[in-house]
């Protein structure tokens, strides 16, 4: 049992107009095996939370803590966080010219587990995971995300999550840009990893659509850099009917 604990997290970014506070004190505790949905309107700070957890240099943590089983995550470098068991499935996966998916996956696996995977086992694992995500094996020879469609990029993120076996995954708008078939395949992948590895999931989404496939234990509504409301799955259903209007009005 692992715990990812976020306390009173304040995050700002540098803009042309000076420093801008995006997260204004966020509290969130995720345990192994739990699925938390973070919902909220655009600009509410959802993605900022994702990047702050992963350690993106653009986001300055100005207050609060993030700990993983008591260890100070904010003290860790980006790659140390991955090694500690955190994973971020990105909304906009980056193209890496000249690096094949195959090479990338093997290098990442070696880095995360501290030793090179046994070749035969690894090749089988990769093939199996790609099959499950309905990815053509020829994908392995393509450069990471280069020329990938939106759906292919997202599958590639889930593929990495499946193979790197993190203890907590943040899925940043993984549903955006997916058609219904791709959404189902990707969601199945998340559920599979969740079940197999007792993965704790922080599912960031604007829409409730993905929650039909991935059932959250908790729903948190983000408004203006804070959690405005918490609830169970039924909260997502309410949001689907009502939208975010009532939160936005309350914030004015």
Partner 1 sequence: MTTTENVRSEEKFVPIQTRSERPSSFEPADFETPTGREVNWKHSDLKRLAPLLVDEATENIGHDGIRYGVEAIDAAGVLVESTGHEAAVRGEVFTPEDLPAAIAWKQCSNALHIQIPEGKSIGEPLVARLEGLGADIHANAHIIVEALPGSQSTVVLHHTGSAAYAQNVEIIVRDGARLNFISVQDWEDDTVHASAHQARVDSDAYLKHMVVSFGGGAVRVNPSVRLHGTGSETEMYGLAFADSGQHMESQVFMFHEGENTTGNVLYKGALQGKGARYVWIGDVLIGEGANGTDSYEKNQNLVLTDGTRADSIPNLEIKNGNIEGAGHASATGRFDDEQLFYLRSRGIPEDEARRLVVVGFLMEIVQKIGIDEIETRIEALIQEELAAGASLAPAAKAGA
Alpha-helix residue ranges (DSSP H) falling in 175-244? 180-197, 233-242
3 state SS of 69: coil
Which stretch in 51-59, 63-71, 206-214, 241-249 sits in contact with partner 1 by CB under 8 A? Answer: 51-59
Other beta carbons within 10 Å of 233: 14
Q: Is 47 in the site for partner 1 (CB under 8 A)?
A: yes
Distance CA 151, CA 165 (A): 21
Of residues 55, 58, 57, 72, the one with CA closest to residue 6? 72
Count, residues near partner 1 per rule CB under 8 A: 37
Minimum CB–partner distance for residue 131 and partner 1 (Å): 21
Window 92 to 151, contacts with partner 1 (CB under 8 A):
92-100, 103-104, 107-108, 111-112, 143, 146
Of residues 58, 52, 19, 49, the one with CA closest to residue 223? 49
Which stretch in 23-31, 33-41, 73-81, 235-243 sits in contact with partner 1 by CB under 8 A? Answer: 73-81
Window 148 to 187, contacts with partner 1 (CB under 8 A):
160, 164
Which stretch in 28-36, 44-52, 229-237, 240-248 sits in contact with partner 1 by CB under 8 A? Answer: 44-52
Cβ contact 236:216 at 8 Å: yes
Distance CA 106, CA 113 (A): 11
Which stretch in 30-38, 53-61, 124-132, 211-219 sits in contact with partner 1 by CB under 8 A? Answer: 53-61
Query: By the criterion CB under 8 A, which residues form the site for partner 1?
Result: 47-48, 51, 54-58, 77-79, 81-83, 87-88, 90-100, 103-104, 107-108, 111-112, 143, 146, 160, 164
């Amino acid at each position: 049992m692992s715990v990812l604990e976020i306390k009173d997290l304040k995050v700002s970014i540098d803009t042309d107009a000076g420093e801008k506070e995006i997260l204004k004190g966020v509290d969130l505790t995720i345990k192994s095996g739990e699925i938390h949905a973070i919902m909220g309107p655009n600009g509410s700070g959802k993605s900022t939370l994702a990047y702050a957890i992963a350690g993106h240099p653009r986001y300055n943590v100005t207050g609060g803590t993030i700990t993983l089983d008591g260890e100070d995550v904010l003290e860790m470098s980006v790659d140390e966080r991955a090694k500690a068991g955190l994973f971020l499935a990105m909304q906009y996966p980056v193209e890496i010219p000249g690096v094949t998916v195959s090479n990338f996956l093997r290098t990442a696996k070696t880095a995360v587990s501290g030793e090179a995977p046994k070749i035969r086992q690894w090749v089988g694992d990769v093939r199996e995971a790609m099959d499950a995500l309905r990815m053509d094996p020829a994908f392995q020879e393509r450069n990471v995300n280069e020329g990938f469609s939106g759906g292919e990029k997202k599958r590639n993120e889930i593929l990495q999550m499946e193979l790197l076996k993190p203890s907590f995954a943040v899925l940043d708008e993984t549903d955006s840009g997916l058609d219904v078939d791709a959404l189902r395949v990707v969601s199945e992948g998340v559920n599979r990893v969740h079940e197999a590895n007792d993965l704790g999931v922080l599912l960031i989404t604007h829409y409730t659509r993905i929650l039909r496939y991935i059932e959250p234990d908790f729903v948190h509504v983000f408004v203006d850099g804070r959690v405005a409301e918490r609830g169970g799955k039924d909260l997502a259903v309410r949001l689907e009917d009502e939208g975010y209007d009532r939160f936005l009005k309350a914030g004015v």
